[in-house]
Amino acid sequence: MKQLKLILLLITISANTFAQFPIAKLEQAYQALANDEQAKYAVTSLCVLDANTGKVVFAKNENIGLATASTLKTITSATAFSILGKDFRYQTTLAYSGKINSDGTLQGDLIIVGSGDPTLGSWRYEQTKENTVLNSWVSAIRSAGIKKIEGSIIGDDSLFGTQSMPEGWIWQDMGNYYGAGGTALSWRENQFDVHLQPGSSTGSAVSVSKLSPSMPYVKIINELKTGSAGSGDNAYGFLPPYSNLAYLRGTWGLGIKKASISLALPDPAYDVAYRLKDTLVRLNIATTSEATTTRRLDADGKAIPTITQKLATTSSPDLSEIIYWFNKKSINLYGEQLLKTIAWKQGKAPSTKNGASEEIKYWSEKGIDKNALNILDGSGLSPGTRVTTMAMASILFQAQKEDWFTPFYNSLPENNGMKLKSGSINDVSAYAGYYTAKDGNKYIAVININNYNGSGISKKLFRVLDALK
């Protein structure tokens, strides 16, 4: 009997030691980070949950709202899956106004009607590539017997309104590809490339060799200087929405291996109309008027043509595929489009503000404190977005119970042996995701540091998460 009690006691001690083991390691690793010189004036937050029970394994500052950077994409993804459904697809419609005469002349306009698809013209999916989409539209136009257009090609981006940028984004971001705004009619992920050549010495002028694709309606003012060897890419584009004037500022380092930077399309709806018109002209299908958009027509006080007939419908990949790339490559545009689409799906005007409100409402009804979710955008690019690590970890815990969890989980990048979404903006570094230890224990971890000094902080965050191994 004594021997049995001794065995049970040893088992209990062993179990308790095992249970405390990751906590002790996490405590030590967290304190090492908190005491690091880079974190002297920072706010650091960590929340680790048992993925099976949802109970807190370890937490520090877990209820302080911090800028999330791109870890916010995990919440946007989970909300989109929940409200839109994993099989949701966007649809873009090609239609015309007026009528087609017997000689093949369209007395009216071709209209491309957007519904928010962020993948239209994207190179990431076979069916969305620019030439594939344009060729399908040309085929539909020819099938309708149209040989000449006495009117315009019109990009209809009216569904999402005229505010393409979320409030709270900063000026330095907005002209660059990662700061591309979301409109109802997007094209080629709302970006174009500027090819650069450094000068012969530090401080000399950088030259622009070409734009890809050609952008004859955009004027580039190049103020770039050549940076020192090894300084790399510190070039930024300053190109406001709906403008045709871009300033290039910063430095482009000697010996840099990159060939180009990518800027944000200032008016995606115009660009897609422009590309279709250019394609038709090269195929001898002439148009009598310049390409335009519904926004431009409205600004000029002109009536928006009424659609007479639909010609073709272009569907996006399903939401599972969109979110795969959204998280793998951290495409900010996708997050902004999804947030507006969430608002639209819930019967609200499709704006960033309404989408954020619906997102907060959805999770508050699931038990998440709404005050822990101060969300201003869908991608996390806004430094004004504030979410607690406890709230984010709790959403990741709930996501495991959903039928869309597998594609959600698969969309998260592999980082340091874990499935983690990273996030980084000025003086913000964060990670959020899942880890299965060798012993089979599963964890959810969210770590975030705001207002740190220096560089290389992400490796130090990983040292904390390594305590789970």
Question: pLDDT per position in the chain (469 positions), as tens?
Answer: 555 444 444 334 334 444 456 899 999 999 999 999 999 999 999 999 999 999 999 999 999 999 999 999 999 999 999 999 999 999 999 999 999 999 999 999 999 999 999 999 999 999 999 999 999 999 999 999 999 999 999 999 999 999 999 988 999 999 999 999 999 999 999 999 999 999 999 999 999 999 999 999 999 999 999 999 999 999 999 999 999 999 999 999 999 999 999 999 999 999 999 999 999 999 999 999 999 999 999 999 999 999 999 999 999 999 999 999 999 999 999 999 999 999 999 999 999 999 999 999 999 999 999 999 999 999 999 999 999 999 999 999 999 999 999 999 999 999 889 999 999 999 999 999 999 998 899 999 999 999 999 888 999 999 999 999 8
Q: Is the dihedral of CA 374, 379, 384, 388 positive or negative?
A: positive
> Using an 8 Å Cβ cutoff, are 389 and 60 in contact?
no
Residue 22: per-residue pLDDT: 80
Extents of the domains making up the chain: 24-86+320-468, 91-162+267-317, 171-264
Kindly state which CATH superfamily the domain 24-86+320-468 is placed in.
Answer: DD-peptidase/beta-lactamase superfamily (3.40.710.10)
Record: fold of 91-162+267-317: D-tyrosyl-trna(Tyr) Deacylase; Chain: A; (3.50.80)
- Burial class, 63, CB count within 10 angstroms (exposed 0-12 / middle 13-18 / buried 19+): middle
Residue 11: per-residue pLDDT: 38
CA distance 276 to 111: 11
CA distance 443 to 51: 5
CA distance 209 to 194: 8
* Strand segments (E) across 213-308: 219-222, 225-227, 233-238, 245-253, 260-264, 286-287, 292-293
Could you give the C-alpha distances from 137 to 105, 119, 224, in angstroms and in order?
17, 16, 39
pTM over 0.85: yes
Give the pair of three-digit tokens for residue 433. Answer: 């995701």
Residue 14: per-residue pLDDT: 39
